[in-house]
Amino acid sequence: MTDSHAPGHAAPAHGSLGHAHGGWSPLAGSAQAVVLDILVHGARPRTELAARLGLSGPSLTRITRPLLESGLLVERASLAPSGSGRPSVPLDLDPDAHHFVGVKLTRDRLFVVVADQRGRVLDGHDDDLPDPSPAAVVAQVAAVVTSARGRDDRIRAVGVTVGGQVVDRAHVQHAPFLGWDDVPLAELLTATTGLPTWVENDVRALTQAELWFGEGRGLRSFALVTIGAGVGLGLVAAGEVLGGAHSSAGSVGHQRIVAPVPVPVPVPVPVPVQVPVPVPAPVPVPVPVPVPVPVPAPASAAAAARADVPAPTCDLGHHDCASAFLTVAAVEAAAARALGRPVAYDDLLVLAADGHQEARVVVDTAADVLGQLIAGVLNVLDPEVVLMSGEGVRLATVGGAAVDAAIARDAHRAVPPPRLLVQEFRFDEWARGAAAVAIQMHALGR
C-alpha cells in the first residue's frame, strides 16, 4: 500500500480533529486505530475495544471523547451485561455522516458511485468517455462530482482509479488504456472539484475494498487476480494491501509464462483413393500397384481467415507474457485463429461449455496460463484465499479444470490446495474500490 500523502493532503498533528470537510480532519495514532477497528469490524463495547487495542479504560475514554463530539463515532443501544456489571455501550461509526464519490475510468467509459463510510453503494451510474485526454477527463469527473454534491451535501472526498501505475495516490505515471503518462490527476481534480481527491491503481483499490468491506474482510492475507482488458494482481499480507516500493506490486500482466501447447488448427486433406491396376491375362506375374502421389489440397477459406489473424501480443509487443494469452482481446484472437472466424469472448465460453472442441482448446489454453499465475502467487505469498474478478473472470469457471490442473502442476508441494473464489463481475465494484480509497485516505490520513 502506498502510505505517502498526496500533495496538499498532509495529515494533521497526532489525533487532532479540525473542521475541514465535514467537521473532522484525518486521524493518526490511537485515534486512527480506534476508528479503523470500528470501521472495518463494526460496533464494539468499550471494554472489548480497549482490550483489542491494548489501551486502558481512561485512555480509550480520552481518545474517543473528541471522536464522539465530532459525530464521527456514536453510541449504540446498551448491551445487557454478561455478569453483574453495568450494561456495555458499544461504540460505532455513523456510516451516513460522510459520503464519498468513487470513479473508475476505462478506455471509453466512466463508472461512478456514491458510497457511505462502510462502502455501501448509495447511488451509481456510468457515462461514455468520449475524450480520454486528461483535460477532458478532469472536466467530466468534476461535472459528475458537482452533480453528486447537488444531491448529497455529505460528500467529503473523491477517489479515482485507472488501469496503470499510480504513484503516491496522486500521480498517474502510466495508464496505457487512456494513453496517459505523467498526469498529476489528484492535484488537477482537487483544484477543480474543491474536494480532497486521491487516485489509485484500479486493482489495488478493488483489493482495498475487498479487505475492508468484501470477501477479504477479517483475512490476514489474500490475493485478487483480475482478467479483462488487462491482467492484474492485488496482494494483502499481514492485513495490509501491498503497493511496493515503486507502486508497482502486482504487475503480473508481463510475467513470462510457459506457453501451453499451441491451439491445433487442423486443415483436412483428402486421402487419395488407390485404384489397383488391372493385370492382363494370361500373365501369371502380378504387376506392382503404383503408389499415387497426394496432391496438396487448396487452403480452405477458414484456413485463410486464420492466417489473417495476428498472433496475440501484449501492449509492449510480448508474445510470451500472461497478457498475450489471458486478456479478453488475446483470447478472442486465439479463438479467431482456431475457429476461422471472429468469436466474441462470451460466445466462446458458451461454445466451450457446450463441448465445441476448438473452443474448448482455446479456453483451456488461457485457463492454463491463469493457473500458472495463481500457482506463482501461492508459491510466493501463500495466501488464505485467492479471489478472481474482472470482465473476463468467467474463464475461471468454464476452464476450471485446466486452472486446477495447472495449479497442481506448478504450485510447490508444500502449498495446500488453494481456496478459490470467483466473483460475479460488475464495474460498479471497481468504482466502489475508488470510493474505498477516498474513505481510507480521508478518515485515516494514510
Looking at residues 320-347, what average pLDDT do you find?
94
pLDDT above 70: residue 133: yes
Average pLDDT in the chain: 84
pLDDT at position 16: 37
Segment 394-425, tens digit of pLDDT: 999 999 999 999 999 999 988 888 899 999 88
User: What end-to-end distance do the CA atoms of the chain give, in Å?
Assistant: 9
The DSSP-derived string for 207-227 is: HHHHHHHSTTTT-S-EEEEEE
**21 Rama sector, left if φ>0, alpha if ψ -120 to 50, beta otherwise:** left
pLDDT at position 11: 35
Place of cell 483535460: 135
Whether pTM exceeds 0.85: no
Secondary structure of residue 414 in the 3-state scheme: coil
Q: What is the CA radius of gyration of the chain?
A: 29
- Range ranked top by mean pLDDT from 73-77, 264-268, 442-446: 73-77
pLDDT at position 345: 97
Secondary structure of residue 231 in the 3-state scheme: strand
pLDDT at position 36: 85
Q: Which helix (H) or strand (E) holds 174?
A: strand 171-175
User: CA angle at residue 205 from 22 to 26, to 5 degrees?
Assistant: 30
Segment 234-269, tens digit of pLDDT: 999 999 999 988 888 888 988 888 877 654 434 344
Paired strand residues for 236 = 222, 241
